[in-house]
Amino acid sequence: MSQTVSLTKLLNVRENEKKVAQKAFLNSQEAFEKVATKLYELLKKKEMAEESYDEFIQDQTPVERIKEQITYIENLNDAIIHLQREVQLARSQMEKKQQHLTDAHIEVKKFESIIENRKKQETDRRAKLEKAFMDEISINQYLSNQNR
């Protein structure tokens, strides 16, 4: 029984580690979503800027306005490249945290399984002892009844 108590304490430690890992994963997931949303918004801006550029080319728009639009699109491209790196980094961090959470979950399940097996073994052992005790009582009663 003392083995089960110590294993239960270890299980509690592992569950706390799992909770910490889960919080870290959720934080990294939020960070990833935030950066990915920024990237999505920039890509939408770029798409709209390119549509405007195409319209400027079709219409008779002054060259200065077209140059401004090209510069704006180039700036958006630079920002997109930068954000793509940030998204990749955030994704990498999120995947690491997810793996850590998965590992923590597996550890908790291992300890739960070990504790369950130990409790079953203890129950089986007690049942066996009880059966042996009952057999002993039955034999003693039989022998005492035979001696009368």
What pLDDT was estimated at residue 5? 85
Q: What is the mean pLDDT of the chain?
A: 93
Measured between alpha carbons, how far is 113 from 129 in angstroms, rounded to an integer? 24
- Strands (DSSP E) found in the chain: none
7 within 8 A of 114, measured Cβ to Cβ: yes
In the chain, pLDDT over 90 holds for what percent of residues? Answer: 78
- pLDDT score of 3 more than 80: no
pLDDT band at 48 (very low <50, low <70, confident <90, very high): very high
The mean per-residue pLDDT over the stretch 3-13 comes to 87
**How many of the other CB atoms lie within 10 Å of CB of 42?**
17
2-146: CATH class: mainly alpha
53 within 8 A of 69, measured Cβ to Cβ: yes
What pLDDT was estimated at residue 148? 62
Q: How far apart are the first and last CA of the chain?
A: 43
Residue 63 identity (one-letter amino acid): V
11 within 8 A of 111, measured Cβ to Cβ: yes
